[in-house]
Amino acid sequence: MNSNKIKPLLEIKNVLEVCERHGFLQKLGQYLKIAPMGSLLLHNLKNEFYRNMVINKDYTVFPNESNSFKKSFLYAKETCSSQFPFGIVEKILDKTSNDGFLGYFDNNEVIKCNVFVAPQLATAFYHQLQRQRRMWWRIFSASPGRYILSDIQNNDVFQSVEIKAEYPWGLELIEKINLFKNLHPELNKDLFQGSITPCYITSEISLQSMLINTLCDAYDATLHQNTSRIMFRFHRKLAPYKISFSISKSQKNASTEDLLQLAIFISKQLRENNISCLLLPKAGKDSLEEQWMFYDCLGIPYNVILTDETLKNGIVQLRSRDTTLKEQIHVGELPKYVEQLFKNY
């Protein structure tokens, strides 16, 4: 990594140590790699990005998985009857960037969304996209105020603005949005004979930068009952696992086994509703506080607590990661209730 990053490294050290300890990142040589929990988090981030930039747009956006941008453009142009706007999303490998968060990785996968717009509408479209993208970052943030837009860089060929996240060690580049007034470099003028030559707007996000930003954004270390309570406050849509299970220690081995079987039954019901659950064999072997500390460090929003009383009356407790408050819910009502919790943003 660059020698001029020594001070930021010292400030971010605690975050990275927790990320390595809990399986989000792993260090190989001088660089970081994405570990199992980080892979799950990144999967959810990509899903939300594609939902926002591809699926839920008022205009049509096509993924480009081939090596020919031109062929994908021609398909999009024909399918949309040459009516703008329409977009093409591609993934590219960029090994040239090593600033900020990207300095921690040896490769840089970039998702680039290209939107082709009629020239007379391009400027208004460009400013609207800036607002939408900043709002997207804020929706999933534990500290929405940290996201700001840079000043616009402007010349005869393009305009460029950056979305940045503010941290104690400085500003980190998260997304770059450009408006190009010339022809896309993969295309030629022959494609537009007798029709409008569009401008194009790009949104560029590094997957590695998106991941480490989400980890830094969600990291929280607060004083709780005279001890430092470390957690990741992931948005519930992004959390690698949505629900975890804790079993209160019981002096009756039979009760513990029955509660474990009940937890397995509940987790199957939740998974059928597409709610990802983490049920570990060690549930019930550690104290509840120890279990909660572990699950909070994984950023799991809710924890289902089963006790001996659960076997008598069917009542479980649902603990919130963010508030630590618990509410009582009957086992039969739990799947529907949890589904509603994760339905909305």
Flag whether 228 is in a domain.
no
Whether residues 325 and 250 fall in one domain = yes
**Partners of residue 178 on adjacent β-strands:** 160, 202
The secondary structure of residue 53, as a DSSP letter, is: I
**How far is the C-alpha of 66 from the C-alpha of 44, rounded, in Å?**
23
CA 245-246-249 angle, to 5 degrees, is 150
Mean model confidence pLDDT for the chain:
91
**How far is the C-alpha of 239 from the C-alpha of 312, rounded, in Å?**
32
- Residue 176's nearest CA partner among 134, 143, 213 is 134
**How far is the C-alpha of 249 from the C-alpha of 257, rounded, in Å?**
11
The secondary structure of residue 271, as a DSSP letter, is: H
Flag whether 103 is in a domain.
yes
**How far is the C-alpha of 20 from the C-alpha of 215, rounded, in Å?**
11
What is the model's pTM? 0.91
Two tokens at 12? 């971010």
Give pLDDT, residue 9. Answer: 44
Q: How many residues does the chain have?
A: 345
Which tens digits make up the pLDDT trace of 213-254? 999 999 998 766 667 789 999 999 999 999 999 998 765 666
Whether residues 121 and 153 fall in one domain = yes
Whether residues 286 and 186 fall in one domain = no
Return the CATH number at 323: 3.40.50.800
Whether residues 44 and 103 fall in one domain = yes
Confidence of residue 96 (pLDDT cuts 50, 70, 90): low
Domain region containing 158: 3-217
**What interhelical angle do 207-218 and 6-21 show, nearest 10?**
80
Terminal CA-CA length for the chain:
37
Flag whether 226 is in a domain.
no
Whether residues 205 and 273 fall in one domain = no
Flag whether 225 is in a domain.
no
Flag whether 223 is in a domain.
no
Flag whether 183 is in a domain.
yes
Give pLDDT, residue 157. Answer: 86
Whether residues 257 and 114 fall in one domain = no
